[in-house]
Amino acid sequence: MNGRLRFLVSAGPTHEPIDAVRYIANRSSGTLGLALAEVILARGHQLDLVLGPSPLKPPAAANVERVETAAQMLAALARRFPHTDVLIMAAAVADVRPKQCANGKLKKDALGDVLQLEKTPDILCELGRIRAHQIVVGFALESLGGDAALAEAARKARDHGCDLVVLNGAGSMGGTDAEEVSFVQRNGAHESLGSLPKSALALRLVEWCEREGRSRA
């Protein structure tokens, strides 16, 4: 890898439709992904940004593809992944989706008491199957705390083929600050960054990727 890297970043939530107007989602705003985009471009790297439903405006210099669902996000990332140097999976992908999406809008009485769900694709695992030279960064939001959270982040790094997992608390979702962030590697090595603005976290993360890229050059 040379000094100028091609980053592939996913950002924002996904919306998994129940019908034409209702969907399953989460509280992700895409703030961190957009902060990463700003830092990556400011430091002279190339950027492909796959952005879920978010009201935030991405930087003009980014190559952006807008998506809605987890399946669409996986397809967009898979097309670009073979040609990238660094994948940062900052999106908060919905874990489940309705087994069926109704045409039009369901009447309230037709919704029933039970919604049949299925798991969405595990995007990191899917991309791991075609991984070659790429640096891969994942995220873990854990409420466990302490050593248990660090161990879970290291397990995720190993199981999902990540070089690094960014561990933080669920309270950071949708806000401007990330709470008690740690960088965790698959061997369990970790660095605690404390609580810091997402703009500062974005810079620290891009710097980590740059160092990793230089070590592989």
pTM of the model: 0.92
Residue 58 has φ and ψ, to the nearest 5°, of -75, 160
Residue 63 annotated to the active site: no
Which CATH superfamily hosts domain 6-95+115-216? CoaB-like (3.40.50.10300)
Q: What is the pLDDT along the chain (217 residues), one digit of tens a residue?
A: 668 999 999 999 999 999 999 999 988 889 999 999 999 999 999 999 999 999 999 999 999 999 999 999 999 999 999 999 999 999 999 999 999 998 899 888 777 777 899 999 999 999 988 899 999 999 998 766 678 889 999 999 999 999 999 998 765 555 556 668 999 998 889 999 988 899 999 999 999 999 999 998 7
Sign of CA dihedral 180, 186, 188, 191: negative
Beta carbons within 10 angstroms of residue 216's beta carbon:
10
The catalytic residue among 2, 26, 103, 168 is: 26
Which pair of structure tokens corresponds to residue 134? 């790429």
